[in-house]
Chain A
């Protein structure tokens, strides 16, 4: 993937340069249209529960993908960062627990929640990045567990086992943002922004340096890069995305509790990212839609084979194992290999093979 696109070199200096929107494959435009007009054809449940949840989980998985795919650091703290942001919204804003919620205005508690969650994520990053790569999973999992147990034990701030309920978005511009259609657009907008940010940054110095550090940290240090600082900065960037996802998640559930960031939820984010494909940003959303669809329709499937709806985790676990065994780069990996095989088979008319398209 070239850093420095040189359209002049490629097509000769008198060829006109293409503007950015001409460089996007047509499939994306079709997708954009479908997404924008979805409310016309989908019912409230699909909009709110299926798509809303997909965008939210996709964002949190995207933050994991950024760290793992671009940075080579598999971090399990993303869900905890998201939950932290959700808790901060409940604590600094409004909830059903009036003794603990501070009732500040939205333009205070929203940035504050994101800030606190990002600081939390950055601190965890600071602890995790100076060890060998394989320790990152262990350290982040341990801290995520600590966060879970702490929020469950602590009643003074986090209201322990019960958590906070009735946490809803503020009524801005007279819109109830938790109604299905507005919520759909809200989550779609946030997810799109997050996705575009990650794709853009991946080719900016910040992202390129991170990928260089993933591939060869010793070399990067010898080129003048402060490897530790870059890795921590990556956690900061990823935490912002996870924090926004967490706030949306709390609004969707209208509650936040220790279980929001329990170990099953933490692992589910990893599962989503891996199933979709941890190497590319779109993988996070592919994994999320698979997870959400499974979660929504698995009860019917399980029932039809005589199992209880509770065996959803078993399905997810088996699916995850299958992916790790047969296609470690996830569904995207399967797609890539299928494309390659199709390209190699060549054009039936002329017998020429194609090179395969550029992955995003």
Chain B
């Protein structure tokens, strides 16, 4: 399986540096009196592949929402490639190389696959406000074709998203996340609802991403998570419960006690 061709960011930060891609320090998010996440400290190195596990309500998606900028943390700082982005709006974070997929596909149902990918590519390139229609020779259009091929959706290029199968929609979600020059991708339960074949396809795509792209993946499916991650963070009740390599987490007795029966088919 060839490595998916994803350009490195042109400012030379594409190499796997010693700095952290993502650094959360003491991040807390309160909704009224409810603490969805408390005091999360989590460094993620450039190019690292990490899984975040935990039962429902552990705060995993809230964590993602804080990182992408859907809302600001109540306290704590979020650093993206060394920059404090805690109060940045979402689009500023995206333009610094952050990407995200959603647990429930957030796609544009009335547009075709090509249009969805086009919007994703346009979002991180120049010409967002352009009043002139995109020409056939525009490099953005070529990228669109490459990305669609990278997730094996070429036959469905001109299909409306509302007519795609569930698995195809999940593939499209990933294509959107690969647009532009991503440096860190947040995958929110990408394997949810996929058949075993589709799950293998997903694992292939994830493992064949170039080395400079790190990702954090939320998953319930331990099987997928442990195969695509090199480190694991376990969350419980909004806090970090355990951290370590996949094998350590798998064998940890406390983890097993908390999640009895979890993860085995």
Residues of A within 8 A of B (CB): 1-4, 6, 9, 200-201, 203-206, 208-209, 212, 215-216, 218-227, 230, 233
Segment with Cβ contacts to A, from B129-137, B220-228, B232-240: B129-137
Q: Could you say which residues of chain A place their CB within 8 Å of the CB of B12? A: none
Is A225 a contact partner of B176 (Cβ separation < 8 A)? no
Q: Is the Cβ of A224 less than 8 Å from the Cβ of B95?
A: yes
Chain B residues lying within 8 Å of A9, measured Cβ to Cβ, are 157-158
CB within 8 A of A216: which of B106, B122, B123? B106
Residue of A nearest to B158 (CB): A2
CB distance A205 to B130 under 8 Å? yes
A-B contact pairs, 12 of them (CB 8 A): A1-B111, A2-B112, A3-B118, A4-B118, A9-B158, A206-B128, A208-B118, A221-B69, A222-B94, A223-B120, A224-B180, A230-B128
Answer whether A223 and B119 are a contact pair too, CB < 8 Å, given A2-B158, A9-B158, A215-B108: yes
A223: chain B residues at CB < 8 Å are 94, 119-120, 123-124, 176, 179
CB-CB under 8 A from B68, the residues of chain A are 222
Partner of B128, one of A205, A215, A222: A205
Q: Given A215-B110, A221-B90, is A200 in contact with B119 using a C-beta cutoff of 8 Å?
A: no
Question: Interface residues of B, CB < 8 Å — how many?
Answer: 41
Interface contact A233-B108, CB-CB below 8 Å: no
Docked pose: A204 CA to B241 CA in angstroms? 49
Residue of B nearest to A3 (CB): B115
- Point out the residue from B89, B112, B127 that lies within 8 Å of A221, measured CB to CB: B89
Question: Which partner residue on chain B sits nearest A204 by CB separation?
Answer: B133
In the assembled complex, the CB of B30 is this many whole angstroms from the nearest CB of chain A, namely 21
A33 to B109 CA separation, bound complex (whole angstroms): 38
B interface residues (Cβ-Cβ under 8 A, vs A): 68-70, 89-91, 94-95, 100, 102, 106-112, 114-115, 118-120, 122-124, 127-134, 136, 141, 144, 157-158, 176, 179-180
A3 to B138, CA, bound (A): 13
- Tell me which residues across on chain B come within 8 A of A216, comparing CB atoms: 106, 108
Q: Which one of A4, A222, A227 contacts B134 once the chains associate, using CB atoms below 8 Å? A: A4
Q: Are B131 and A206 in contact (CB under 8 A)?
A: yes
Task: Give Cα A220 to B91, complex, Å.
Answer: 8
Residues of B within 8 A of A1 (CB): 111
Nearest CB in chain A: distance from B51 CB, A? 21
Closest to B114 in A: A4
B123 and A225 within 8 A (CB):
yes
The answer to whether B106 and A206 touch across the interface, beta carbons within 8 angstroms, is no
- A279 vs chain B, min Cβ distance (A): 11
B134: A residues at CB distance < 8 A = 3-4, 204-205
Given contacts A4-B115, A9-B158, A208-B119, contact A224 B108 (CB under 8 A): no
Give complex CA distance A205, B123 in Å.
Answer: 10
Q: How far is the CA of A77 from the CA of B122 in the complex (A)?
A: 30
Interchain CB contact (< 8 A) of A226 among B89, B120, B141: B89
Interchain CB contact (< 8 A) of A205 among B120, B129, B158: B129
CB pair A224–B129 under 8 Å, yes or no, is: no
Complex interface: chain A residues within 8 A of B124 (CB): 223-224
* Bound: A233/B128 CA distance, A: 11
Report Cα–Cα, A230/B131, bound state, in Å. 12
B121 CB to nearest A CB, Å: 9
A224 & B131 in contact (Cβ 8 Å cutoff): no
Contact B158 A233 (CB under 8 A): no
A3 touches B131 (CB 8 A): no
